[in-house]
Chains A and B, each alone.
Chain A
Amino acid sequence: MCTMIAHQVQIMGRAKSGLEWFEVREANVSYDHPYDLPLEHALNLDFVNEALGPGARVAVELSVDAARQLVKAIEAVLAQADQRGVLEDVPVIAVPAHIRQ
């Protein structure tokens, strides 16, 4: 894209697309042109599973302020959970969708 500002982080998690959940293995974070948000540039979050092809993607496009608020909220929730001693820092095991409940 026009800024080419993009980072990728390996993750383990699940994302919902339509009625289906699927395993996500990468999160792509970019500050570049969004597809739907009516801004020239946005903070774009793509939760993907590259092994499943380009269509395995859950996308969120945020304004800068919204992105900053989201980061703060995530940090605050994790800190609160840590304080209460309920943080489960256990990696999610990758399980193929067809054998999950």
Chain B
Amino acid sequence: MAHTYQTDQYEGMIAETVTMRGHNGDTIGAYVARPLGSGPFPGMVVIHHAPGWDEWYRECTRRFAHHGYVAISPNLYHRDGHGTPEDVGAKVRAAGGAPDARVLGDLDGANAWLRSLPYVTRKVGIFGTCSGGRQAFLAGCRVKGLDAVIECWGGRVVQSKEELTPNQPVAPIEYTKDLSAPILGLFGNEDKSPTPEQVNQHEAELKKHGKQYEFHRYDGAGHGFFYYDRAAYRQEQAVDGWKKLFAFTEKTLR
């Protein structure tokens, strides 16, 4: 990993649920993890995946803190009721996913929350996997003031007209020209959403608009290859992906 530490160094972290202002000024829940100390540390907005605001995302948020970032993961399903992450996630799945406009409002709020803290530097990145990868790219194009975007296997960045819905009315790729931060993309070549062909289209559009991007595509991996709790997990590709991810954030956010 990019962040190395010594066995005799001091290390501490605080992690807890908080509330923050999201879309329309609504109060929503969020999970925050940060290194102890005055920092200042770069910030990271951590977008949970479609299955929900679950344990993997708690751990992911803490992982960013372990690597020296103040990380916040807003509950994008806060308004959909409370229960187990699976039950709430299934409810949102049935509703066709969270509306893009609301998600962007919540991510904008998370960015503002980080920037209000005395121990956060002026650099904030955004990370997401699955639908969260798509939303990370979308936020990089629509939310002001992000310094790095990490999109992991963002499905439906490329959408046909038939795939557009009231909740996701515009294909994110249409906004590529507005991307305001460097982007790292991690993809599995066996993924069905996005397919390698869709990743090609995504990359071509970034190139066309002269955006700073870095895409890594892994053979032998499909969708969600970071998820150690699912069959999709691919150890070798995941380890390399995290390594590339932290190399990218060190470069763009420190």
Contact = CB atoms under 8 A, between A and B. Distances in A.
Interface stretch (A50-58, A74-82, A92-100): A50-58
19 contacts: A1-B50, A1-B51, A2-B50, A2-B156, A2-B223, A4-B168, A26-B94, A28-B90, A30-B93, A32-B50, A33-B51, A33-B130, A48-B90, A50-B91, A54-B81, A54-B82, A54-B90, A57-B87, A57-B91
Contacts of A53: 81-83
Interface residues of A toward B: which range?
Answer: 20 to 34
B231 A33 contact: no
Interface residues of B, number: 36
Interface of B: 50-51, 80-84, 86-97, 130-131, 155-156, 163, 165, 167-168, 191-193, 222-224, 230-232
A6 B95 CA distance: 7
A3 interface: yes
Q: Is the interface of B mostly helix, strand, loop or mixed?
A: loop
Contacts of B89: 35
Contacts, number: 86
Contacts of A1: 50-51, 92-93, 97, 130-131
Interface string A34-75: 010011110010101010011101010000000000000000
Contacts of A30: 93-94
Contact of A35 (B83, B86, B130, B167): B86
Given A33-B51, A38-B231, A40-B223, A3 B193 contact: yes
A8 interface: yes
B90 A46 contact: yes
A48 B86 contact: no
A57 B92 CA distance: 13
